[in-house]
Structure formats: C-alpha cells, structure tokens
A and B are shown apart, each in its own frame.
Chain A
Amino acid sequence: MSSIAHDPAHGHGHDDHAHHPTGIMRWIATTNHKDIGTLYLWFSFIMFLSGGVMALTIRAELFQPGLQIVQPEFFNQLTTMHGLVMVFGAIMPAFVGFANWQIPLMIGAPDMAFARMNNWSFWLLPVAAILLIGSFFAPGGASAAGWTLYAPLSVQMGMGMDMLIFAVHIMGASSIMGAINIVTTILNMRAPGMTLMKMPLFCWTWLITAYLLIAVMPVLAGAVTMLLTDRHFGTSFFNAAGGGDPVLYQHVFWFFGHPEVYIMILPAFGIISQIIPTFARKPLFGYASMVYATASIAILSFIVWAHHMFTTGMPAAGQLFFMYATMLIAVPTGVKVFNWIATMWKGSLTFETPMLFAVGFIFVFTIGGFTGLICAITPIDVQIQDTYYVVAHFHYVLVAGSLFALFAGAYYWIPKWTGHMYDEGLGKLHFWCSMVFFNVTFFPMHFLGLAGMPRRIPDYAVQFTDFNAIASVGAFGFGFSQLIFLVIVLKCIKGGKKAAARVWDSADGLEWTVPSPAPYHTFETAPVVK
C-alpha cells in the first residue's frame, strides 16, 4: 500500500483492484484483513462442528443409564476435548474473525496494523487444531483431565496431554498476536475525527477483550509450562511429594480462566450493542455507561477467580471475599442488560434474524447470568459444585450467550461480506430451532444438577434417566439445526438478493458506507468522522 492520496470523490467507488494470488495461495499468503477474517470464521465453524460431534457422542452415551456407546476412558477424553475445542477452537477464533473483518471497517482503517503477523496468527491455529484432534490417536488417547487440566491428573496423563500442552501454547501465541494486532489497530489507526468515545461499541468491547487476552493468555501458557516440566523435567510445582501443591494449579489456571470467560462474552456484548439499536431504530441507550460497564467487568474479572474453587478448603475470609466480588460483577452486567432493554423501549422494532438472535441472547444469557449468581453463593456452590447445574449455567452463557451473539453478528454482517442477502425464512427457522432445542437440551440440566447428578461421568443413577433422555433429544435437535446455518451461509455466498451498501435501513457506522460486498481494499483514504 502506498501513501498516494486517492481522490476522495471516487474514494470507494473503484472496486477490486486487488492484486493477489489466486487459488489456495491466495489464502495461505494473504495479509488482507477480510481474507483472514473469513479464514478465522471458517476455521471456527469447522471446529464448532467437530466439538459438536463430540458433544453429541457424549449426549448419545448419556441418553440412557449404563454404558452403551463409549468406554468411560474415551468419554472423559470427549468431555475434555469438547471443552477445549469449543473454547479455543470455535468461540475465540470466531470472535477474532469478526474483529478482523469488522474493526478496520468500523474505524475506517485500511487494514490491521500488522498484516503479516495477522496471517501468522491465523495459520498457527490449524497446526494447533491438528495437534489437539490428533491427540485422540496418540497412545493412551487424548487428555482426559477435563478442559481445566487439573493437576495431579493432568500430570499423570499419557502423551496426548503433551500434544494438548503444545496446542495450548500455540493457540496462546496466536491469541496474543491477534490481541496485540487489535489493540494497535484500534489505538493507532482510527479515522480522523473518530475519538475513542465515538467508536462503535463492538470495537470498544474488543479493545478491552484484547487487553484481557494479553494479560491472561501468558498466565495460561505459564500454567501449562509448569505442567509440562512437572511431567518431564522433575519439577514439583504441583507435586505434593516434592513440596508442591495441586491446588496451586487451580489458582494459576483460574487466574487465567475467569478473565477467559469474559474474553468469550465481551465481544458478544459488543455485537449485541451494534444490532439492537439498528433494529430498534434508536441510538444505543447509555453508550458511555456501556463502555464503563465493559471496563468494570474486565477489571473485576481479575479478582474473582477463586469462586471456581470454593471447595478447596480456603479460609472463610477468602470465600466471603470471592463471593461478594463475584456478585459485584452482576452490577455492570445488569447495566448492560438494562441499557439494551432501554434501547428497545418505544423503538420501532422489527425482528429480522439478527434481531431475533440478539433478543434471544438477552433472554437466555440473563438466565445464565442469574444461575451464575446462584453459583457464586458459597454455601450453595458447595452443594452444586461439579454437578450438572454448573454445566447448565455455563452452557447458558457460552452457547446462548457467545454463540447466539456470533450467529446474530453473522446474519447482521453477512450481506456486507458476501454482497447478498441471506435467506430470511431459513434464518428465522435456524433461530427458532436453535432457541427451542437449546432450552430443551440445557434447561433440564438445572434439575439434574440440583438433584445431584455429577458432571463428567458416563453413567448415572436411574432416577436421572428422564431428564437425560430429554436433554439428549434436545442436543441432537440443536446439533442438526446448525446445519441450517451452513446451508444459509453457502446459499448466501452463491447468490441471493443483492445487498445495498447500507444493508439495514437504520444501521449506523462506517462499515455501511462501503459497497456490499466490501471491496478487497477499503478506506485506503481515511474517511472523516464528524
């Protein structure tokens, strides 16, 4: 790219003068933020389906009590890998994909700050994914220590664990590079006139998320490095016999793990905050308070990690501190929910698919938020720790939260990406199937957890049969519903109604000033924001 000034009068008109290799080399060598965004999104969708197959195998086994389909060892590998694949392979890269596509478009930058590093941070991911999935075929199978990889179990696992540790290292490096790229792009490359407080909320939430990533991914890298040296190099970080402590692992892991939860939800908040104003035809209510709420959630996320560990025997003072700190997070989160509702209040609402997913998100995510508050209460947590109640809680916030927001965002921006409208009828079908089957799958898990069914176990007592059967039916329904999404995306890429530059009539933001599909290069001359 050059510093030749284009005539702003025909600034975006002159379409693709894209000079890039064709075929596979286009994708391998690309440094274009839109190509890389597309790669991230496809990668995460493939990982989403892989993790989904694991989940369905788990649910098939749990359809009835007793062991029918898989052996307990393999079942534990499935629960472990399902978690890791969904967190590190599906949800996180999907949000990075959105960031790549949208952030330069939304702030009026020509590309990401470090285009080649961007290529590298994507292409590390398939390597990590191969290591991760390949560990199923290692002697002893994949790691079965749970996605949290608690010591001492993870210290005793077979070679699959080492592959997993390297995969985590690689994915961590990829995330950190991606995050550095995003922070630099947002802070240094905004169009003239776009002050931080005029920035779209999606960019704000990603800026804060990127800082969280830079702060905690290295801590996870440290934790798994300690596991690795404990396994092979005679250190005793987590080995009681050598003066170490397995509980220490939990502290280090959750110091990463809790901010990680917000890494997966803050960009979702950003997407929802873009969509609701568009379909309510009103500006976002309480923009500044949204920014402060996001920052507060991020800061609080560093001081609540031990609420994952109430049963490890910490002093009562510690339990009280972590309980109250956790409950405090409900305040900024509540601010966000109320702001979204206030944005919709007396708006001219229409319910296209992105809006359906956004409203659905608010409804189901809030249920997940409330069960989170229940889990935060120490004496209750002691009862429901490691039961299906917790499984229900985090699927309500991760599936109905992060994943629904991802779908909402995908429907919202796919006309901009492909230049075609998606099939609205199929989109609505996808929403209603997802919404209904999601609740059929996960709502009964609350009851299972309250009744005492432990998680991560392939068999269960017969009194849990009915709810498990319902959950399994729901899970298969939910899983197959996602194929509707695949069909919609493929159809939308192939053709469909031409999308206008401003796809949604009251959508606001720079991305709607460029034609649909967005040209290969945009904003080589910076737009001026008033």
Chain B
Amino acid sequence: MRTTAPDNRKMLLKLAVIALGMFGFGFALVPFYEKICQVAGINNLLQPDTVTNTQVDLSRSVIIEFDANTHDMPWRFRPLEASVTVHPGELKTISYEVVNTRDRPVSGQAIPSYGPQHAAQYFRKMECFCFNKQTLAAGERRQMPVTFVVDPALPADVGTITLSYTFFEVEGSAGTPPRAPASQGRTS
C-alpha cells in the first residue's frame, strides 16, 4: 500500500483551517450586513433622517397620532399629546414620558412603527429617543422629545399617520437580571 498518510495529514490541516475560517465568516456576515444596510439606506432605524425638501405645504394638513407600548417591561410609557396636526414640511417637536416603576435601573430600546405602513418613508425624524438605548434609574421619570418633519411628497390620500413606539427591554445591560417576569407597565 502506498503511504499517503503525511499528505493526508497536511490536507486535513488545510481543510480544517478552511472550516474554521468559514465559522468566522458566519460571524463576519454580521458587520458586513450592517454595512450593506447602511449603504443601501435600509433598516436605518437608529439614524436621524435628513431633510432635503424644506418647502412647507400650507395647502394641506396631516394628523399625526402618537401611540406608546412596552413589551414585558416595568415601564410606564405614554405620549404627552395624543395627536397633533401639522403641515407637510413643517418641523415639529413633541414629547413622550416614561417612568421606570422598578426599584433598580432598567434599559430599553424603543422601536418605531407606522400606520399606514407606507407612510414610514415620508416620516422623517430629526431627533428621537429611539436612536439610543435609554437607561432609567430606579423610579426615574423622563420626558423625551421627538422632532420630525412629514415629507411634502406624502401621497394625497394619507390624511392621518400613526406613530407607534414599543419599548423592548435590552437584556444583558449592566445590572439588569434577565427578563422581567410579567408585563406591568403595558399600555396599549
């Protein structure tokens, strides 16, 4: 029998290195994906929007309704106004209030969603508490602003936009034991 054993061992080593490399590649897909999304301008929930068209369209008004939810979190979360009326192109700031009802610090991340869904692309947020993780000390109450512009290109048939935030607890943040047992501060 020919002895191919040394060659085989070399080959084993090479192929094992490829396999390990591909394991790393799986994880490398994570930053790669984020970069692609950033370049393609999709999924940029955490970045402020930019406004190019600053023309205020006084001829029409849009009602913006505000909604607040928490997902299994010990927080009370509500908008200070239920709705506002704006002209497309007009800069507007409103506030939400959040209270940590837990006796220890809790971190959360707010995720926005829109109704109707296709209005999302015309709703530009300059400033938003949802761009960052929020950490509230035990019992802390905080008012947080949202500054936004509705793009004048908004289709004419959209008269009302609902902006809805949901706070999710960020697990693994400092001093936060895993998941609160029950939803206490749920508003809906």
Contacts and interface: CB of A to CB of B under 8 A. Distances in A.
Interface of A: 1-3, 110, 113-114, 176, 179-180, 183-184, 187-189, 214-223, 226, 233-237, 239-243, 245, 247-248, 251-252, 255-256, 313-315, 318, 524-526
B97 to A, nearest CB: 20
Given A114-B12, A214-B15, 20 more contacts: A2-B1, A3-B1, A184-B15, A189-B4, A215-B22, A217-B22, A218-B21, A218-B23, A220-B26, A222-B25, A233-B172, A240-B45, A242-B170, A243-B46, A243-B133, A247-B43, A248-B33, A251-B33, A255-B26, A315-B42
A180 B24 CA distance: 18
B171 A234 contact: yes
Majority secondary structure of chain A interface residues (helix, strand, loop or mixed): helix
Interface in B94-118: 108-109, 111
A189 B25 CA distance: 30
B111 A180 contact: no
Interface in B15-44: 15-16, 18-27, 29-30, 33-34, 37, 40, 42-43
B170 A236 contact: yes
Contact of B30 (A1, A179, A237, A315): A237
B4 A188 contact: yes
Nearest to A1: B1
B63 interface: no
Interface residues of B, number: 42
Contact of A222 (B23, B42, B43): B23
Contacts of A222: 23-27
7 contacts: A184-B8, A219-B22, A234-B178, A240-B109, A241-B168, A248-B33, A251-B33
B20 A218 contact: yes
Contacts of B19: 176, 180, 214, 217-218
Contacts of B22: 214-219
B52 interface: no
A318 B34 CA distance: 15
A114 B108 contact: no
Contacts of B71: 241
Contact of B15 (A3, A183, A318): A183
B33 A245 contact: yes
Residue among B19, B21, B40 with the highest chain A CB neighbour number at 10 A = B19
B11 interface: yes
Contacts of A183: 11, 15
Give the top 7 A-B pairs by smallest Cβ distance, nearest first.
A234-B172, A222-B26, A241-B168, A218-B23, A218-B22, A219-B26, A241-B109
Contact of A240 (B11, B23, B111): B111
Given A233-B172, A243-B46, A525 B1 contact: yes
B7 interface: yes
B23 A221 contact: yes
B156 to A, nearest CB: 24
Contacts of B11: 113, 180, 183-184, 187-188
Contacts of B168: 239-242
Contact of A3 (B3, B16, B21, B37): B3
A206 B127 CA distance: 56
B23 A526 contact: no
Contacts of A242: 109, 168, 170-172
Contact of A315 (B3, B29, B40, B45): B40
A524 B3 CA distance: 11
B169 interface: yes
A226 B178 CA distance: 18
A180 B16 CA distance: 8
Contacts of B108: 241
